[in-house]
Structure 1
């Protein structure tokens, strides 16, 4: 069969070949560089690759084989930005997830500012942005990628009234999580423990169209949201549902519920399968 016979009239031969040969897996770019911490990108990659949707991960950043450009992002479905990490990561990389939020965010922004236009264009044209802790802060405003509506923003949970945690130490925090996908869709798990280090909450206006995926149990603040930006989707979370045993061991803390990734997988699935 000739290729021309199976091509739509508007499709070039190059486009047809790309459509035939493209992997059925979604392609995720996970940032790894100075605006993240040791081990954080790898934990996000593990979460993505173990999610129900088939996702292939490529690390991107200034010191990786693939940098963040308009050309490279054309090959991606998802851009994920991991946390800046714990106090241990702060000692190693001089970046923290919040730790004084503005110190950590400003330091990260110096490395990410040049990527802002292409990341915004990627999401605006239909890409998916996943932000974990520092990555969630970076989605906001002043400084940030401005992926949220002007009236919405990411803020520091530890400074909020009724917050369960009021310092920058690595710890665990409780969330109420309503599942959006899978066998637990529609079910809310109350007071689930997740790894936390100065993570974000999300200030939403009364007219906000953002969907709240999870709330901090102690005060009801939004701990994770899903919202649109242009033709794309933005999933943001303050705690670390991707944290594995090494995180807990390094910080010398434990999770009273044990370590589970169902909330992390639901967060990923909700973002990558959402439709406008």
Structure 2
């Protein structure tokens, strides 16, 4: 949505030069015709976007959460070994769109993503529709809607502009949420709320004004998870802005979100019990 500013920069200007993903050296492939490498130990593979539509440190924070949850992680983007293209999502269990740069509008982030050679939103839509999984964190949650991948049965909005919002500025801070009915405090920087109206939508968290803060919803045969706050936020993010460290509780919530996203929707539901905030 034009005019929305989201994301974070941990005390630094967003990097222009991208770091190549670990692996073989040399020039990265110029298309996604080579499938991303897997792991021999059987871990599910998560593909995380890293490029100008993500903030410095956000893809790596997502990587930390994913590895804690048992995923192997590869990055995809203009400076990465894995590039967008027809085969980029082959063998991938989860695609992740991480947070964006502080001050970057949603329309700008989407435009930067769309400029990536080989990228097409239909690549991700087709992947999810066929049974894949999508995780959108903060800016990635905005981009799950419109403008963006248009994967939601509804859309996102700017929480700080919503009626009775408890956070009303763009500074990095904590936000109170009810996660599965339990009070939690989470790292937050101008993240979205979600206005969703579709069958099978599972709302995991709400802001104090009742707006949805995190949810999992179906798309075709696949599933989409979105979060306005940052469950993946590492301890250093809290230290950077002199906030009480809620990183371990946040990571536990992130694992709950991932379990819900990756679960077989036809299996009997279980209700995890996240650790309450202190």
Q: Under TM normalisation by the shorter chain, which class is it? A: 0.7 to 0.9
- Counterpart position of 2:18: none
CA deviations 1:237-266 (Å, max 9, x no partner) are: 0000111111112223224x5642211110
- Counterpart position of 1:109: 110
The two structures have a TM-score, normalised by structure 2, of 0.76
Contact 1:201 1:221 in 2 (8 A): yes
CA deviations 1:202-228 (Å, max 9, x no partner) are: 1123x5542101111x21110001001
How many angstroms apart in 2 are the aligned matches of 1:123 and 1:199?
A: 23
Cα 1:64/1:265, change in 2 over 3 Å: same
* Unaligned residue ranges in structure 1 (runs of 5+): 1-20, 85-94, 179-187
How many angstroms apart in 2 are the aligned matches of 1:46 and 1:177?
A: 21
How many angstroms apart in 2 are the aligned matches of 1:146 and 1:119?
A: 10
**Structure with the higher fraction of residues in helix conformation:** 1
- Counterpart position of 1:197: 189
SS for the counterpart of 2:152 is coil
CA deviations 1:157-203 (Å, max 9, x no partner) are: 1011111101111110011111xxxxxxxxx322x110000001011
CA deviations 1:17-43 (Å, max 9, x no partner) are: xxxx96521110011111101111111
- Higher Rg: 1
* Unaligned residue ranges in structure 2 (runs of 5+): 1-38, 267-278
What RMSD in Å do the two structures reach over aligned CA positions? 1.7
Cα 1:76/1:258, change in 2 over 3 Å: closer
How many angstroms apart in 2 are the aligned matches of 1:39 and 1:50?
A: 17
CA positional deviation for 1:69: 2.0
- Counterpart position of 2:163: 161
- Counterpart position of 2:126: 121
Note the 1:87-106 alignment, pairs <5 A: 95-96=101-102, 99=103, 103-106=104-107
How many angstroms apart in 1 are the aligned matches of 2:203 and 2:262?
A: 16
The two structures have a TM-score, normalised by structure 1, of 0.76
Q: How many residues align?
A: 223
- Counterpart position of 2:231: 241
Note the 1:64-103 alignment, pairs <5 A: 64-84=80-100, 95-96=101-102, 99=103, 103=104
Contact 2:145 2:156 in 1 (8 A): yes
How many angstroms apart in 1 are the aligned matches of 2:40 and 2:233?
A: 31
SS for the counterpart of 1:269 is helix
Cα 1:27/1:212, change in 2 over 3 Å: same
How many angstroms apart in 1 are the aligned matches of 2:222 and 2:247?
A: 34
Tell me if 1:37 matches 2:55.
Answer: yes
How many angstroms apart in 1 are the aligned matches of 2:247 and 2:218?
A: 33
